[in-house]
Structure 1
Amino acid sequence: MKGLLLFILFSTLAPSVFGQSALEDRIFDENIKSLELFPQDNRLGYPVLFLDNPNALVLAFDELNRDFQQYVYTFQLCNANWIPTDLSPNEYLDGFTEAYIENYQFSKNTKVPYIHYSLTFPNRDIQFRISGNYILKVFPENQANKPIFMKRFYVTNPLCSIFGNILAPSNPALQKTSQEISFKVDISNLNSRFPSREITTQIQQNGRYDNQINQLQALSISDNILDFNLQKNNIFTAGNTFRFFDFSSLAYNSEYIYSINRNEQIDKIELLLAKERANKPYKNEVSLLGKFYIESKTYDNSDLEAEYAYVRFLLARAEPYLDADLYLLGGFDLWGLKHKLEYDFTNKVYSTSILLKQGFYSYQFALKEKNQNFVDVASIEGSHFQTPNSYVIRIYFRAPGTTYDQLVGWQEIVNYTNQVNEQI
């Protein structure tokens, strides 16, 4: 163990790094690829820990480099809206406040060389004392003010019971295109005297943050049961099944792949020309829900032997969108709209190329008006009530006299069975 305890360094640099603005998933170093954070027993699961259950999360990422770099990791507790709390690390962490990432391996016989780093936590170096929203920050040794990435995850102490369903909205105009999340929350174990002030409720769709519903208020409170049924604020645009492609093998063109160009330096893949799906009938397909899964069918160890390749995405369009940019939306870019497509007036297509590691990927096209925050997926992909989706309900409690939000309820609600497992 190469534990690292730098209390003075952390205390000095944390304010300048984190500040008091909301933190988010971000990659600062363009050589960092295939960033994943998942439960140890489910690579496609949400990054959540339970204080009453000895589960663990796994961090995995690649650095496109031939030379090893010593990296350090630490954690920052945030409130329900991802603003860093004023608690010191010793108040929410046990053990060290920082530690080295000790597990790393070099890629084997790949055209693009990389180093694969991994970390499992909590571990012998760092454990969590309280529940809440956490940021995992990774940075080079002795450079805490220069993180290479930050990643959000959750630690929950499930004091609340959540019971919910996905329903068609009561509004007839929305019943074919939207989904209503109807639920109740039992807060008997919280001893909350003023639930409307002390409890914060959020709903998230498929891991996206851009369309998350925040600050929900219960319709009624009776016998420690918060009722969130039949509310117009609980409604999401259902969207459509995520597009999908599989290049776990480079020996043949799988579904939705038009061509694979193998060469000595780097492989290039072109996807089939995609078309808009708005105003078209719903097609029942298995969905990865925007997630990705690293795998090479050629080799045994995908983490070290999977190849990187440039993947070209294309969308047919007779003319460019007015006053809006077109992006790819999916977990492979942390849902961050990092990849904008450019319009080709000659060929009448939008396109972009991205360096990706072999595996299974799902994504959608999204429009974002210039200088606006709203992300519009339905205008391109369509929206249908039947669409498979995953919703996570989170309940936060700020106890009287405290300055941080405990995560006391976490529940996933889905309207499908085995969607992800069937596709991979």
Structure 2
Amino acid sequence: MKIDYIGNRLKMCGLIMLCFVMCCQHVRAQSGKVYENQKFHDQVGVVQLYPVLNVGNEEMETPIIPIGQTTDLMLRFDMLTVEYENLQAKIIHCNADWTQSVLNDMEFMYDYNVFDIRDYEYSINTVELYVNYWMTLPKVKRSGNYIIQVYRDSRPDKVLFNRRFVVFEQGVNIQPKMRSSTSVQYRVNNQQIDFEIAYSGLQVNNPMAEFKVVLRQNNRWDNAIVNLRPTNVNRAASKLEYRHFNSENNFKGGNEFRFFDIRVHTFRGMNVAAVKNEEKRLDAFLVRDKIRSQAVYSQVRDMNGAFFIATNESGARYLEADYIHVHFDLISPETNDEVYVIGAFNDWRKDDKSRMIYNRQTLSYQASALLKQGFYDYMYWVDSDNPYWFENSYYQTENKYEIIVYYRGFTDLADKVVGYTSFTSEF
């Protein structure tokens, strides 16, 4: 009788502990915080996260890799400080909406989830002193959305920056089709993505509810298309069709990106009007830009909004690439909407640092950014119903697209990434 009593008490304690753990996980999952590519300190310089492919300009590739393969992800960043600092990193597993999942570290990591960043080098012969750090990201056990978070002094509350990456398994087959918009009013401006997902390799009970898809343009998360519902479910063939007719799967084609070259600061690079060299500061003033809303489409080879770091100074090495204050100037009448200059160089963020201020003396919008020497794409964005008002939008514009397929079965605690494909629009 006493043994039964003790056994029941142990079962009750175990049940209470299980409920406590599940409640903690539920609270964490319901916190609602969305993790983004973001810097939290002005001392953080350029940050790059990319797959190690041993090809030219691999740092411009998107940080999306297959699980169980030999492809590594490299994190490289600068701290605008004089001395080396004690920095650590950790990995956060996220759901499809980039909120933290309920999984504990042991369920997606092979190692203890704290990583000291020990590889670093000091800048050489630069006006702006910095320390360059790098690390190869640890392998993970399962597919999904992830955040690499870097912080100071073993203090996870002193976060310096976040960077997103995705690990996928190929459990479905994706068949995309690129076309101009089927909506008459958007036909000359928009690009449409129709696609099918074949999921015969998965045990799916409710395909309408268990799959989520994300469409991305030019490695951007800020204008990604989410929450698309299938237009047809063929259960017999294990296939989902996405063929929308109300522009739900449309992107603005946009225009070819503007660009500038600051690989050299001793003379003017492409689209640089003037360079100012001082003892403690370098400035580059770009050629004054004009509105392109009335121009006709002209195909120009660009980098789809990306950038790469390099210096062409005579005999200079990577660690001699300096930081330059780049000044943007857009000739335009003043509008009632906020105007931003964006690109991969500032994570496409529309915030105070990318907001342009109207100068009534020069009749132009102006902004500046501290950027490392290299080659950069950029565009002007209007916070309105017509964000491409300065740039115009054409269905013929060449863009890179990606489709990411997420899946969560009835018994799964977090979203998996079961499919991924990328392709380029060509008309």
TM-score by length of 1: 0.89
Aligned to 2:402: 392
- Decide which moves more: 301-310 or 42-51: 301-310
CA distance in 1, matches of 2:204, 2:38: 35
CA distance in 2, matches of 1:387, 1:33: 31
User: 5 Å matches for 1:137-286?
Assistant: 137-222=149-234, 223-231=237-245, 232-286=247-301
CA distance in 1, matches of 2:416, 2:96: 8
Please tell me whether residue 331 in structure 1 is matched to residue 331 in structure 2.
no
Report how far residue 228 of structure 1 moved.
Answer: 1.4
SS in structure 2 of the partner of residue 381 of structure 1 = coil
> Structure 2: which 5+ residue stretches go unaligned?
1-23
CA distance in 1, matches of 2:299, 2:343: 20
Counting aligned pairs with the same residue, the percent is 26
SS in structure 2 of the partner of residue 144 of structure 1 = coil
Please tell me whether residue 295 in structure 1 is matched to residue 310 in structure 2.
yes
> Structure 1: which 5+ residue stretches go unaligned?
1-11, 418-424
Kindly report structure 1 stretches of 4+ aligned residues shifted beyond 6 Å: 15-18
Please tell me whether Structure 1 or Structure 2 has the larger radius of gyration of its CA atoms: 2
Contact 1:165 1:413 in 2 (8 A): no
Report how far residue 274 of structure 1 moved.
Answer: 0.4
SS in structure 1 of the partner of residue 319 of structure 2 = helix
Contact 1:364 1:377 in 2 (8 A): no
CA distance in 1, matches of 2:358, 2:30: 37
Contact 2:408 2:416 in 1 (8 A): yes
- Decide which moves more: 342-351 or 259-268: 259-268
CA distance in 2, matches of 1:34, 1:365: 21
Please tell me whether residue 20 in structure 1 is matched to residue 32 in structure 2.
yes
Match of 2:107 among 71, 77, 91: 91
Which amino acid in the other structure matches residue 133 of structure 1?
N
Match of 2:46 among 17, 31, 34: 34
Contact 1:38 1:57 in 2 (8 A): yes
Report how far residue 184 of structure 1 moved.
Answer: 1.2
SS in structure 1 of the partner of residue 248 of structure 2 = helix
Contact 1:239 1:377 in 2 (8 A): no
Match of 1:64 among 77, 80, 83: 80
Match of 1:119 among 135, 148, 161: 135
The two structures, once aligned, show a CA RMSD in angstroms of 1.9
Contact 1:61 1:117 in 2 (8 A): yes
CA distance in 2, matches of 1:112, 1:63: 11
Which amino acid in the other structure matches residue 292 of structure 1?
F
Report how far residue 235 of structure 1 moved.
Answer: 0.8
CA distance in 2, matches of 1:352, 1:76: 34
CA distance in 2, matches of 1:192, 1:325: 45
- Residues 141-180 of structure 1 deviation map (CA, whole Å, 9 limit, x = unaligned): 2211110011111011111111112201122221110000
Which amino acid in the other structure matches residue 339 of structure 2?
L
Report how far residue 297 of structure 1 moved.
Answer: 1.3
CA distance in 2, matches of 1:18, 1:270: 46
CA pair 416-36 structure 1, distance change in 2 beyond 3 A: farther
Contact 1:72 1:99 in 2 (8 A): yes
TM-score by length of 2: 0.88
Report how far residue 17 of structure 1 moved.
Answer: 12
Please tell me whether residue 364 in structure 1 is matched to residue 379 in structure 2.
yes
CA pair 22-106 structure 1, distance change in 2 beyond 3 A: same
- Residues 326-358 of structure 1 deviation map (CA, whole Å, 9 limit, x = unaligned): 111111111112411111111111111211100
- Residues 394-420 of structure 1 deviation map (CA, whole Å, 9 limit, x = unaligned): 100002112200011111121259xxx
CA distance in 1, matches of 2:107, 2:315: 43
Match of 2:412 among 367, 378, 402: 402
Aligned to 1:5: none
SS in structure 1 of the partner of residue 185 of structure 2 = helix
Aligned to 2:335: 321
Aligned to 1:420: none
SS in structure 2 of the partner of residue 91 of structure 1 = helix
